[in-house]
Structure 1
Amino acid sequence: MKTYIVGGAVRDALLGLPVQDRDFVVVGASPEEMLAKGYLPVGKDFPVFLHPKTHDEYALARTERKTAAGYKGFVFHTDADVTLEEDLIRRDLTINAMAQDDAGNIIDPYGGLRDLHDRVFRHVSMAFCEDPVRILRLARFAARFAIPPQNFHVAEETTSLMQGMVADGEVDALVAERVWQELSRGLMEARPSRMFAVLRSCGALQRLLPELNALFEPGTASERGQQLMQILDATASHASHRQALSTRFAILLHDLALVPAGSDTLSVEKLRVKLADGICQRLKVPAECRDMAVMLAREHLHIKDAASLSAADTVDLLTRCDALRKPERFLEMLNACACLFLEELATDTVFAPQLQLSQALDIVLKVNGGEIASLYAAQPQQIPIAIRAGRINALEAASNAQQ
């Protein structure tokens, strides 16, 4: 029985990056032997065990055979005679197919060290094309390893292989939850635009997010796609703090509407909301990300033009966004708008609408709705009208006081 550190832990250590998790492969052992040594079984599809003290994951060396479409269509074989090389060849990329033994020696049967040095993402074997999740994982790695001195690129033969997978319909077999899992992780990496560039290059973006892919089609729309990617990367690298997933995702979906010039403003706004909501429903996006995406699609231009809003318009905006019940979410949306428009406004100072509307929210939150409601106990239908009027009056009074 021999154990090896494998995969990302070996890769990141060689790159001089922090190692977050260590995965181990065990060669020459059976499930019974692992149990006898006190390891705790956790694997469902194949034997994986937790170390009795460290709780690190130890997987028995295994081979696999494709039996159906999609990422679940595999039969796994584990046995004491499965070699380390047989286990490593089933992995996705050469840089993830290295192992390290107890003495610190690197076992590299498939050229991972060379590709690590050359900063290349290259598939280990044709087994890559049997699992469509690997396209998403590679795209996510491209977003992660996109800052010098990493700055990896995809090998031409691997791009060709992925294009074939897309043409064969493998990507269409991906379930929504898995797509969202990988996309959300890629959005949180250093340069999310690299993930979408890889997905575009192999045709997967057209299958997964055709609404976004349309922004890169030749013509005027292609400029919008590139501008969106620039904003997304700038948001990811924001110096002040690490932007939340819901912020990044909302920025990604905020304006996917392709409409003729001169179209009715309200119709365009409705289309933006419809597209954003449709993607969220299709990918089964968590509620907090869905709500932020739909709200930003609907409100970002209203917020940009906050200086022209009347007190009544401002109260209605806060009401539409449920800002009085969920002020933190509204403030996050203002932050998303700042990410959208600061570059356009050529300033790195405070985004004026963000300051204006956050102050307006503070003022409105201080209006005592319960006290106003008590005055209209005999006329309950007048209560919401009176509370709205009280909030408008508070904003107008604050504005007059500043003049």
Structure 2
Amino acid sequence: MIRELLKYANMPGAVSFGGGTPDPETFPRHQLAELAREIIENEYRYTLQYATTEGDPELIKQVLILLKRVYGLDGFSPENVLITVGSQQALELVGKVLLDPGDCVIVGDPEYLGALSAFRMRDARFLVVKFEKDGPDLNQVEAHLKRMQKENQLHRVKFIYIVSNFQNPSGITTSVEKRKALVELAEKYDVLIVEDDPYGVLRFRGEHIPPIMSFGGIDRVILLNTFSKILCPGLRIGIVVADKQIIRKLVLAKQGTDLCSPSLTMRLAARYLERYDILEQIKPAIELYRKKKETMIEALREEFSDVADIDWTDPDGGLFIWTTLPDVDTMELFKFAEQRKVFYIPGEAFKPYEEPSSSMRMSFCLPTFEQIREGVHRLKLAYMDYVEAKGLKCR
């Protein structure tokens, strides 16, 4: 669905809140262009050759430095890290290594559809928990684990999947209390946690929260990350941090998938991280996304002030707002929005099981400020069209 919607983003006059595509103006293109020339000319024996499956040692060295700076995670070795072609490949490899057909994964509702897609490829069964304002409903998590234990099927629950910061699609951040409690449940029932954190650095309000891995350790938690949102997605660089034995299995699976990630993009990222402070370089982009998020929320307040019970999240970072219009099927609403040339992702796409949703994911990172305001205005018009066509009362 997102792939199809990205086509609409190029229509003349269209406003797309669809894909979580970073603003290209935030990409350090001049620095990367200079570095690319250097590494092709001076390091061609590496950059134009096959790489090892594990990834560029120079990039892994920089990743270990960032793990300490960003997360406070220290004491890891290069054998704890795997470089993948984006975090989507990391999800696919995790599913390939850990899941057999019929195995279970605990996931949220709503949930990142890229993860759902990767796990569906392994014929996984989803044990679904609702997301609350501070993360997944842990009572539901434990209820699933207890039931599977009672049925002597606990061994089929392979891991709990969670996007811990500014979740895609909801924008919700799991609280520190729930992170600790989730680890306690994982320890109690002896299951892994797969913590996906592509957006954690993009915080524009509030204090940094330690990752789940800092509470559960590398024996209990697999940490996924990416440079797509903080550097640029075109490099296609993802990261897996895990126990050495798990990394070894992922390496074997990756060998059968693509042999290795591109040497050129890995070394380009490594030299960028070596020469520039990425946490400083990303600050203007974070400020831009903060202003865009506030613009979208202000536009929602203005345009939908007369719609009772509408709700949206107000994330502390990331790229998405989750908007809910009660009594509306946002898949049906999409047809009216398409006529108005405004696009979003219907909430149904993020459900582990196919069922209607009254929610939608709205990404604020790519449109301009003017497009955000115009797009929300068009969305209100589309909503009014929907209400009229369905014979509903505008509440």
Normalising by the smaller structure, the TM-score range is under 0.3
Q: What's the TM-score once normalised by structure 2's chain length?
A: 0.20
Bigger share in helix: 1
Higher-Rg structure is 1
- Higher relative contact order (CA closer than 8 Å, sequence separation 6+): 2
Q: What's the TM-score once normalised by structure 1's chain length?
A: 0.19
